[in-house]
Amino acid sequence: MRIDIISVVPELLESPLSHSIMQRAQEKGLLEVHVHNLRDYGIGGYRQIDDYQYGGGAGMVMMVDPVARCMDDLMAERTYDEVIYLTPDGTRLQQSICNSLSLKNNLLMLCGHYKGVDERIREHYITMEISIGDFVLSGGELPAAMLVDSIGRLIPGVLGDETSALFDSFQDNLLAPPVYTRPAEYRGWEVPKILLSGHEAKIEEWRHEQAIERTRNRRPDLLAGDDATE
């Protein structure tokens, strides 16, 4: 998979994409991430990329010309399955979206900044708009890094255990069950006996029950109309 990211502040993406699982994914050749500095397409000697908005109002807007020319150059090299704009008013990111995007070959992401991007970019280039939550950040770089991570870890071969991602929270609309590791007893706090039994079927049954209970207590909205409550 290849992911191209257009950013006003590309330095913000360096650390999240060059360590841990994302680093290994790229070293294995399973994921390519290329960050493009929008200021390379800026106008004039100051490489201007933002301007005042028509009609007045506080805040600057990402200009249509630099973004369009950057996207044109990238699209001339390959076809993108999705062109994603990271914006607070986009669709709330969910695991099902990550699952779907992990099956794509080429993704292009635009990190929002200032008061947003000229609406003509959204109308003529963007195919998907994603938000990571109902709050506002200084820019779309951190959401883009989160999206890349959530997608990249699902690519076969990225995680050491191929089945690990299948049991993450939200994969089946349930939160993950409690997990424990050695020692089996610490300060009088004991690991549930069932996990030490070696009985795989009963362990999985216990984990499923715990996942339902945890979801019911912490995120009951996930169980609304779901068979998992049966």
Question: Which tens digit of pLDDT belongs to each residue from 51-87?
Answer: 999 999 999 999 999 999 999 999 999 999 999 999 9
Intrachain domains 2-152 and 169-229 with the same fold = no
3-state secondary structure of 119: helix
Confidence class for position 227, pLDDT limits 50, 70, 90: very low
Report pLDDT for 184: 94
pLDDT in tens, 94-136: 999 999 999 999 999 999 998 999 999 999 999 999 999 999 9
Count, in order, helices (H) and strands (E) of the chain: 6, 9
3-state secondary structure of 224: coil
CATH superfamily of 2-152: SPOUT methyltransferase, trefoil knot domain (3.40.1280.10)
* b (16+ CB within 10 A) / e for 7-21: bbebebbeebbeeee
d(CA 162, CA 171): 14
**What contacts 187, CB < 8 A, 6 or more positions away?**
none
Q: So where are the chain's domains?
A: 2-152, 169-229
Q: Is domain 169-229 classified as CATH 3.40.50.300?
A: no
